[in-house]
Structure 1
Amino acid sequence: MVEEIMLPSGHAHTSGDGPLKNVVVVGAGPVGLMVALKLGLAGIPVDVFEKDSQLSQQPRAAGYYAGALSALQRLPIYGEATKLGYMLKGYCFRGPLVEDEEEKGAMKLGDLIAILNFSKGEETGDDPGNRVLVLPQNQLAQLLYKAALQTGLVNVYFNREVCILHDRGDFVEVVARDQARSLTSFRAAFCVGADGGKSACRGLLKIPFKGHSWRERIVAIDVLLEDKNVDHEFPTTLIIHPVNFGAVMPLGPVQPGKKTLYRCTVAIDPNDERTDEELVSNANLMSLLNTIAPGPRPLDVEIVNSSPYRMHQVCAATLRKGRFVLAGDAAHLNTPWGALGLTTGLLDADALADTLEMIINENGPLELLSLYSDERRRVFQTFVDPTSTQNLLRCASDPAFAKEDWLVRAVVNDTTDVLEPFFRQFYDVWPTDIRKLAALRGYLK
């Protein structure tokens, strides 16, 4: 029951006697903020609702590449993002930790299985070629947040949880509850649900979200450590192991003789019945780091942050219901192996902002929202889902058989006729050029 309905101060939510031309975005993560930024740059007013009190600081995604990196390049934050982060040429596949012959009692990253060198295929990419930008998700979100506010057309409201959605035909009404349980109603031309895997928008719209969940949980740990044996050219490693597979990625350039902030992600035995709270106890985090982090024993590390995750392969039955649209984790979820999670969400945001701009500023038809939904679901079903699934299974294999994998063999043997079309998909299939598709299919005059 609505106790109070009020409009907050800020930019206008109406457009005189004409149709509304503003957008509400639910969720102030990188996906929602990227939509808001792009719309603000296009002269479209945006109100962002975020249920939490601040931008998330959880250790989540950290790598952006290929089509997703190209999308970031087109934003005004790109230069600052490259200064805060750093570029990788590729990553390694390795077996589990082994003893360090040069330092008694120390462990080092396991035997090298293959090096995936993105920079060898620069001709298949664009500026900056096939590189990976490493930048923690919370830092990217902060850049997007500041840039969105600087447009003068984006307002962000924290501690606002969406509880009612109405499609009124010519506009939507979005009602959010604050911490005092008073309700605020916004009217807008459209509403974007970018509020994560447990999306309130998707739930209120009663859109099915089907697929499967992986038995394994993973724990992401941000930790300061020194790896004296680090490969400075390819410092990121995917650990092959049938149970405790994982990833070790420096979140900044590695400086000899100094500790670097690393993201260590490790899978948990699916038969482990401990709670998430027990998994992130300090004692257990140290135990997990002992299975994956290089260095002397006992480990000389400082744990900065950690978070447990359940992994899913699910997709919404539609990304559009009337004037409501979904993007990012609200639309689909997949295993993070291969960095196809947030990056796919950013490509959703890129396509969706262009779609809304065509409708609001260029009088495009509402049916463009269905084109967006169809294309981004197709990309998930035919590319993101199978590719991320095989990335996980590749890492969760027996190291003794890892070199028998077709992709690993192609990388080791530098089989161009296999690698070139495979990696071309990350530029040609993964992104959606919604303007080009709209023109080809006759949506635009």
Structure 2
Amino acid sequence: MAASAPLSDGATQAKVIVVGAGPVGLFAALRLAQAGVKVDVMEKDAELSDMPRAAGYHGGALVALARARVLDKALDMGWVARGMCWRKPVTDDGEGGKKYGDIVARLPFPSGDPNSITSNTPALVLPQSKLSKLLLDEAKATGLVTVNFNMELAAIQDNGDSVKATFTRAGSGAHETYEAAFLVGADGGKSTTRKLLNIPFKGHSWPERLVTIDCVFETPRTVESDVPISFIIHPVHFGVVLPLEPLEPGKRSTYRCAVAVDPRDARSDEELTSKESVNVLLNKMLPGPRPVNAEVLRAAPYRTHQLCASTFRRGRCVLAGDAAHLNNPFGAMGLTSGLLDAEALADSLDLIINWRKPLTLLDVYSCERQRVFQTFASPVSTMNKLRCAIDPEHADEDWLIRSLNSNPPSSLEEYGRQFYDTWRTDMRSLVGGVPSS
């Protein structure tokens, strides 16, 4: 690699600006602070988001959380699911209500150390909002991370040896400029960072909207506790039912329910999340008496995409998470991919700032994480979605469903290892000659 360009003198030399205080931005900030780098995190909203988004983490993402020394705390806040299944839609229970549909295939997770590299990946269940709060607290506790809310990115100036970013403060409208050695854009799918850097975002959007609903209802006494996560197979109203706390049959518990809406449904987002509409969707997904006896905590509609930035780097500015790529949520590969971006990017910046590695290492980061998305995360999540959006009577024609039903789960060991070996990028190994951390 070519020699590194000199960094600016003074405080700027060891400072990074992170745009976006979501879990990806906060995780990058935490990892940078653990490497001794000062970080200014800038967030346009007034507080952390509590919208019902991601809730599952597995494979290499668990390794990344363990490296950051937050996995144990995350496990205390959430729980580890023991497996998942694909099943048909709810059906009559013979008593005027509904029961879960028949299971089409089971995928049990191995027990034991959640960090072990095994044939099937265990899954940590923890709502994104709770992970964000954990990462915020851990990042601030380092003493090297400052988090500024109500600050919206307005302009970026890359000077070659430093970056200046101008933000507009909500309320006063005042402009404030910050300078650092690098800028990380972790500001989501509508990333202002990406737009200001004029980086194309290419791919496609799925035709249907998803409505994600957090609700409380009674766990069926007949529930299969070994596979608590249920993917519901249906050509139109496919989705997932995910317990947000350990299963206790007969007890009312909190669940995340995501259900697809007919692409021809022209109702507004507000209409889709009305009480009446949400209850109709829950009746399509949840077992129990009718009408469904569920307390809705929050609901949010959103469109899903398969999009990727043409590059994750422009000069001293780098993208991570949804700012760099978007994929549908089936299989929990969205936020998890973002966390793995943040890990690899923080390692790259650590190597440049503290180990004097060349700036071209950011090109390696960009190419490697882009390659992982294009060749692994996007195609796998695409098939996860399409596997659910079919006629359930033909689900067993899919190779994965057929493999699970005809062979022991250990037969998928090579497939499962990709979620560790392929999904995660070890920048220190790519560079060589640098101790692991």
**Residue 412 of structure 1 aligns to a residue in which SS?**
helix
Instruction: Look up the match of 2:186.
Output: 194
Q: Does 1:410 align with 2:403?
A: yes
Offset at residue 41 of structure 1 (A): 1.1
Match of 2:101 in 1: 110
* Contact 2:8-2:162 within 8 A present in 1 as well: no
Letter in 2 for 1:31: V
1:321 alignment counterpart: 314
Residue 212 (structure 1) aligns with: 204
Instruction: Note the alpha carbon deviations across 1:156-192, whole angstroms, 9 max, x for none.
Output: 0000000000001100001100111101110000000
Q: Deviations over 1:17-44 (max 9, x none)?
A: 5862100000000000000001111110
AA partner of residue 31 (structure 2): K
Match of 2:258, SS state, is strand
1:39-438 matches, cutoff 5 A: 39-101=32-94, 104-119=95-110, 125-126=116-117, 130-179=121-170, 180-228=172-220, 229-414=222-407, 419-438=412-431
Residues 18 and 72 from structure 1, CA distance in 2 versus in 1: closer, same or farther, beyond 3 angstroms?
closer
Give, in angstroms, the shift of residue 253 of structure 1: 1.0
For residues 112 and 87 of structure 2, what CA distance do their matches in structure 1 show? 22
Aligned-residue sequence identity (percent) comes to: 52
Q: CA deviation at 1:130?
A: 2.7
Contact persistence 2:117–2:417 (CA under 8 A): no
* Cα distance in structure 1, aligned partners of 2:121 and 2:295: 33
Can you list the C-alpha shifts for 1:406-441, whole angstroms capped at 9, x where unaligned?
00011111256851211111111000001111229x
- Preserved CA contact (<8 Å) 1:403 1:409: yes
**Paired letter, 1:283:** E
CA contact (8 A) 1:222 1:305 kept: yes
1:355 CA displacement? 0.4
CA displacement at 1:100 relative to structure 2: 1.6
Mapped contact 1:214–1:311 kept (Cα < 8 A): yes
Secondary structure class of the residue paired with 2:432: helix
8 Å contact 2:120–2:417 — kept in the other structure? no
Cα deviation 1:371-411 (Å, max 9, x = unaligned): 00000000000001111111110000110100111000111
Cα 1:312–1:17 shift into 2, 3 Å: closer
* Paired residue secondary structure (2:304): strand
Question: Counterpart in 1 of 2:3?
Answer: none
Aligned residues: 427
Cα deviation, residue 293, structure 1? 1.1
2:101 partner letter: G
| Secondary structure of the structure 2 residue equivalent to 1:198 | coil
- Paired residue secondary structure (2:13): coil
Superposed CA RMSD in Å reads 2.1
Runs (5+) with no aligned partner, structure 2: 1-6
The structure, 1 or 2, with the larger RCO (C-alpha pairs under 8 Å, 6+ apart) is 2
1:339-381 per-residue CA deviation (whole Å, 9 max, x = no partner) reads 1100000000010000000001110100000000000000000
Q: What is the Cα deviation at residue 246 of structure 1?
A: 0.6
Q: Distance in 2 between matches of 1:410 and 1:121?
A: 24
Using structure 2 for the length normalisation, give the TM-score: 0.94
CA displacement at 1:119 relative to structure 2 = 1.2
TM-superposed CA distance for 1:255, in Å, is 2.2
State the Cα deviation string for residues 93-123 of structure 1 (Å, max 9, x = none): 000101124xx11111111101011218989
| Partner AA of 2:167 in structure 1 | A
Q: TM-score, normalised on structure 1?
A: 0.92
Report Cα offsets for 1:288-344 as digits up to 9, x if no partner.
Answer: 001001111121110001110101000000000000000000000001001110000
Distance of 1:430 and 1:287 partners within structure 2 = 37
SS in 2 for 1:38: helix
Q: Is contact 2:77-2:126 (8 Å) kept?
A: yes
Please give the alpha-carbon distance, in whole angstroms, between the structure 1 residues aligned to 2:362 and 2:228.
41
* Residue deviations 1:53-96 (CA, integer Å, cap 9, x gap): 00000000001011111111122322111111000121010001
The more displaced of 375-384 and 19-28 is: 19-28
Would you say the 8 A contact 1:89–1:130 is kept in 2? no
- SS at 1:354 equivalent: helix
Q: CA deviation at 1:248?
A: 0.4
Secondary structure in structure 2 of the residue aligned to 1:296: coil
Q: Indicate conservation of the 8 Å contact 2:8/2:181, yes or no.
A: no
